[in-house]
Structure formats: C-alpha cells, structure tokens
Amino acid sequence: MDKREILEALTAPDGEALFAKARVVREKTKGNGVFFRGLVELSSVCDRDCLYCGMRHSNVGAHRYAMRDDEIVACAALARELGFGTVVLQAGECPALWTRERVAGLVRRVKAETGQHVTLSLGERAEADTAAWREAGADRYLLRFETTDRDLFARIHPGAPRDGEHPRLAQLRRMKAQGYEIGGGMMLGLPGQTLESVADDLLMLRELAVDMVGLGPYLAHPDTPLGRDQTPSEVPVSVDFTCRCYALARLLLPRANIPSTTALSTLDPEQGRLRGLASGANVFMPNLTPAAYRADYQIYPDKICVVAPQADSLDALHADLATLGLRQVEG
Ligand code: SF4
C-alpha cells in the first residue's frame, strides 16, 4: 500500500469496504480475541508544556497527584484478578518523580507480585533509563510521535528541535534495539495538520515496524494554547476518520496490537469503542486508575473512563464484544 492509496482510502465517500477488509485481516492474524490491558495513570505531574495538553506544566489550574508504589502494585493485582495479562503504566513526563531506580523497582515488583506484562508510557527518556527498565523486565514502551510533520511537531511541543532526527522516532528506534515491543502513533485533527502528513504518519508506523499502534482524535482542551487556536485542519476530528486510520494501520501492520482508544469513546460514548473494534482494532484498555485520581489525569477534557473495574461493567463490555463475535483473551 502506498501513499496515494492511503490518501484515497482516507477521502473515499464511504469507509465500510475498508473496515470490512481490516476485519478480515484481523481475524486472520488475531482470531476473535480482544486483549484487555489495564491502564494505570500514575501521575499528572509533568515537566513538559505540550500545547494541547491539560496536564502541561504551565497549566496552574490543573490539580496534580502522584500514586504511591503500593497503590500501583494493587492496580496491577486487580488487572490480574480481571484476567487482563498486561498493565500499562502511564504518567506525565517527570524524571525527578519517576527516576530510573524507582521505575525499575516498580517493574520488578509488578512482575514478581502480579505476573502481569508491563507496558511503560513515561514520555521521552534517556537511553540509559529505558535500558534499565528493560533489564528490570519491562516488556513494551508506548511513545506516540503525534505527527511526523517536523514543523507541526515543533510548534506544539515547545523546546523540541526542528532539525535532526525526530526525537520520538529516534527513541522508538533505540528501544526496538533494546528489545522492547514498541508502540507509536499520532493525533488526528491537530490545527494545521494535513491529510498528506497523516498518510506519512501511517507509513512511518510500518517503517518502524511498531508492535502497537496508539492513535486517536485530537480533542481540544480549553485551558491550553492549542485549545484556543482556530487554525483549520484538513483532518477531521471524527469517529469515522479515526476508524479509517485504525483500518489502514491494520492493513499496513497485520499483526500489530491496536487499541480502540478512550479518546474515541469520548467522541462517541455509545458506539465509539465498538466502532474501533469493528474497523480492525483488537485491544481495549479499561482504566484501572483509582477513582480518587482519575479526574485529574486530563490531557483533554470530559474523558470517558471507559469502564469501572467492577465485574458488572466488564460483563456489559463482554456482551458488547459478543455482538461483534469477539471475546476477551489474556495477553
Ligand atoms: S502530553 Fe504528556 S508530556 Fe506533554 S504535557 Fe501532557 S502529560 Fe506532559
């Protein structure tokens, strides 16, 4: 599949044929299993100032929290009880809080005490940090590159270099060499983003041979500079467009794990998550962050916390999956 074909698929009047093709590929590579991965949002403290994010350092109105290690391990134990297989430990970028030693110790504890696979998502970090965490047993690292358009990337990430290698692509390549399964992806509908650049982003996922694809719509946060930016985007913020990107990612990377994201459910609380699965996604990430903290992890506002970790909510989710002929599997 080349760039011209991707652009045609992104702009075709109807996406149904594309979604059907992606479902066939997913069935061949993944069967009817959907992985459930427990998302734990460790902390809303962040040193960075990404223009789109409600947790940016300069947003003095944001309430900050940081979970204790025992609370995090308890969330991983809950993931095990629910049959999930993996926890995703995600936090704002703050090396002083999430030191090399602390994260390595946490990874060891989670693996030893709960047997869960560990995906880390702690932002841009030094090679020695990610090496130490891999050594401690971390399995995967998720770092969205957000866009391959260098000007746009630099505009929305203050301090990011405009020249040389894209810092996040460079880190993803390093981590692949360190033995991680890597996850990359982008935001769709950023002010000033073009369809061509989204096609480039999709091709970059294939070039990197990512193991996981994390992509979702851009949801404006009113307390951020980008939330007030009226620059138009060629890229629609919609469930349909996001699902086309899931489907294309599935065709470009047949074996990749592709979560149907929280941002998609926020756009369409009734159907968003399932439409993601119906267009080739195969992972769902229930939010296991304790309720007391959840509302303070706000990259964008009105986030749907997809499912509370109560069995009845999971039952409802399993019933939804069954309507698509899918079922939860551990992994
Ligand atoms: S997107 Fe991530 S790194 Fe950027 S400000 Fe938000 S939490 Fe920090």
Domains within the chain, CATH numbers bracketed: 3-329 (3.20.20.70)
Give pLDDT tens digits along the chain (331 positions).
Answer: 999 999 999 999 999 999 999 999 999 999 999 999 999 999 999 999 999 999 999 999 889 999 999 999 999 999 999 999 999 999 999 999 999 999 999 999 999 999 999 999 999 999 999 999 999 999 999 999 999 999 999 999 999 988 889 999 999 999 999 999 999 999 999 999 999 999 999 999 999 999 999 999 999 888 899 998 888 899 999 999 999 999 999 999 999 999 998 788 888 888 888 899 999 999 988 889 998 898 778 777 666 553 444 444 778 778 878 988 999 988 7
Mutation pick for ligand 1 pocket among 48, 63, 144 (CB with most ligand atoms within 8 Å): 48
Write down the pLDDT at residue 319: 81
Contact between 202 and 210 (Cβ < 8 Å): no
The closest-lying atom of ligand 1 relative to the alpha carbon of residue 47 is: 8
* CB 55 less than 6 A from any atom of ligand 1: yes
Q: What is the pLDDT at residue 303?
A: 63
Alpha helices in the chain (DSSP H): 3-11, 16-30, 69-81, 100-114, 127-136, 150-156, 167-177, 195-208, 239-252, 262-267, 272-277, 291-294, 311-323
**Residue with token string 């935001």:** 187
Q: What is the pLDDT of residue 305?
A: 53
Cβ(53) – ligand 1 distance below 6 Å = yes
Cα angle 100-102-107, degrees, rounded to a multiple of 5: 95
Q: Is 54 in the pocket of ligand 1 (CB under 6 A)?
A: no
Pocket test for ligand 1, best of 47, 52, 53 (most atoms within 8 A of CB): 53
For ligand 1, whether the C-beta of 299 sits within 6 Å is: yes
Q: How many CB atoms lie within 10 A of CB 113?
A: 13
> How far, in Å, from the CA of 233 to the mean position of ligand 1?
21
pLDDT, residue 311, reads: 41
Sign for the CA dihedral angle at 246, 251, 252, 253 comes to: positive
